């Protein structure tokens, strides 16, 4: 936690960041870096990127893992397996790259409403599947698992693919099983704000050998594995060895025999529980539902403000928190269907996004990170309580 001083009155003000990546010590990285520098192998599927793929498979319990340069590239490669011009059912409540990957493959996004979990509603999916649908693309928003069993049943019933944007969900669990081997394939992000920060990077995980073989070549310009022959389209989707090192150190066991990634997820759940305990006492706040037997990573901890009950608007709350040095974000507001390009090219007459509209209008992400102190937590919560009680007067 840093302290800065206001020049005019020298008042001490805390500065609480929204996120803070938890990274290994330099001494832990040095042996790996030395190996890279001596070999000169900085990328191109070197020793550590291959080892990271093996560790991901071991950790998740999935057959195949393909590391890529970032999750957007991973989604773009994955969706390239779908027929051009077909429709992909996707929540509008997501980060823009989820839908950009659909567009870059000449596919048509059909926006589906969310439910109390802030993930795609299976009931709304069912009502929008048509002969044009080729896939359902669920998003584990903020690391909270979708209703996977219901979505798998729908995908099987209608003969469509089921993919997951799991960017936030590395380390999350669905019914006690790690996210990553569900549906036809999943895509993780290892960017700096994620639970496994590698600077940049991502991974596609699947138990489907056909999907694995399809992506294996396309992430390396389209070259056939082990040769310079090209049999299909491709791009440069390779992860660097530097990123892979950070991933390995983030997954591997610590001195106590616990996976470092699990320690991070557990800590974030502890902080989220404390937030829920304190903030649920305030009227006008609602929270993302995590279903029984599921584990969210809480990549973000969000509150949704109902101004009539809370007493003030989200933007006013955010501004007051900012003045107190507390950083916040408003993920995902506006929702994708509200952005200019999508209003122009993909009108939503076919679908009802009432719940999405309500949630995005009031949502606010609060600071949460592995080494958040009790003092920092108390400062954030007490500031929100102060704003609430002032608004009730």
Overall pTM surpassing 0.85 (yes/no): yes
Of residues 326 and 9, more confidence is placed in: 326
Query: Does position 10 have pLDDT exceeding 80, yes or no?
Result: no
- What is the set of domains in the chain, with CATH numbers? 26-251 (3.40.640.10), 258-391 (3.90.1150.10)
List residues bridging with 295 in a β-sheet: 173
- Quote the DSSP letter at residue 336: G
Secondary structure element (H or E) that encloses residue 96, with its range:
helix 96-103
How many whole angstroms separate alpha carbon 151 and alpha carbon 97?
A: 22
pLDDT at 11: 41
Q: Percentage of the chain surpassing pLDDT 90?
A: 84
> What's the whole-number average pLDDT of the chain?
93
pLDDT digits (tens, 9 = 90+) for 255-283: 889 999 999 999 999 999 999 999 999 99
Predicted pLDDT at 8: 39
* Digit-coded pLDDT (tens) for 99-157: 999 999 999 999 999 999 999 999 999 999 999 999 999 999 999 999 999 999 999 99
Compare 351 and 170 and report the one with higher pLDDT. Answer: 170
Is pLDDT of 350 > 90?
A: no
- pLDDT digit string (tens) for 11-57? 456 899 999 998 999 999 999 988 888 887 777 778 999 999 999 99
Please report the pLDDT score of residue 247 as a whole number.
Answer: 96
Angle at 101 between CA 236 and CA 300, to 5 degrees: 105
CA 382, 383, 385, 389 torsion-angle sign: positive
pLDDT of residue 6: 41
Is residue 2 predicted with pLDDT exceeding 50?
no
The whole-number pLDDT of residue 12 equals 52
| pLDDT above 70 (res 196) | yes
């Amino acid at each position: 936690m840093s302290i800065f001083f206001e020049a005019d009155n020298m008042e001490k003000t805390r500065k609480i960041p929204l996120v803070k990546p938890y990274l290994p010590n330099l001494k832990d990285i040095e042996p790996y870096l030395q190996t890279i520098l001596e070999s000169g192998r900085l990328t191109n599927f070197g020793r550590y990127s291959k080892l990271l793929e093996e560790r991901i498979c071991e950790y998740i319990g999935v057959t195949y893992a393909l590391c890529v340069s970032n999750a957007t590239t991973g989604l773009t490669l994955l969706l390239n397996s779908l027929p051009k011009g077909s429709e992909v059912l996707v929540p509008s409540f997501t980060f823009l790259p989820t839908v950009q990957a659909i567009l870059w493959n000449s596919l048509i996004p059909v926006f589906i409403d969310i439910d109390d979990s802030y993930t795609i509603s299976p009931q709304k999916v069912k009502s929008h599947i048509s002969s044009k649908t080729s896939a359902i693309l669920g998003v584990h928003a903020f690391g909270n698992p979708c209703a996977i069993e219901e979505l798998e049943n729908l995908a099987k019933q209608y003969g469509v693919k089921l993919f997951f944007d799991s960017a936030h969900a590395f380390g999350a669990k669905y019914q006690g099983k790690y996210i990553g081997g569900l549906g036809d394939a999943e895509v993780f992000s290892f960017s700096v704000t994620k639970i496994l920060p590698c600077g940049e990077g991502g991974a596609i995980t699947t138990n489907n050998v056909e999907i694995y073989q399809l992506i294996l070549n396309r992430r390396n310009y389209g070259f056939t594995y082990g040769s310079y022959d090209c049999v299909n389209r491709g791009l440069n989707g390779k992860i660097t060895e530097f990123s892979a090192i950070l991933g390995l150190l983030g997954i591997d066991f610590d001195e106590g025999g616990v996976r470092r990634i699990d320690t991070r997820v557990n800590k974030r759940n502890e902080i989220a529980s404390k937030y829920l305990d304190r903030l649920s006492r305030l009227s006008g706040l609602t929270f993302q539902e995590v279903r029984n037997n599921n584990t969210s990573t809480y990549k973000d901890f969000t509150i949704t403000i109902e101004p009539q009950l809370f007493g003030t608007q989200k933007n006013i709350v955010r501004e007051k928190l900012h003045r107190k040095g507390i950083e916040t974000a408003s993920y995902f507001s506006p929702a994708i269907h509200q952005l200019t390009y999508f209003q122009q090219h993909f009108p939503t007459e076919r679908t009802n996004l009432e719940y999405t509209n309500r949630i995005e209008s009031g949502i606010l992400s609060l600071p949460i990170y592995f080494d958040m102190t009790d003092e920092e937590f108390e400062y954030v919560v007490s500031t929100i309580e102060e704003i609430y009680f002032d608004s009730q007067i």
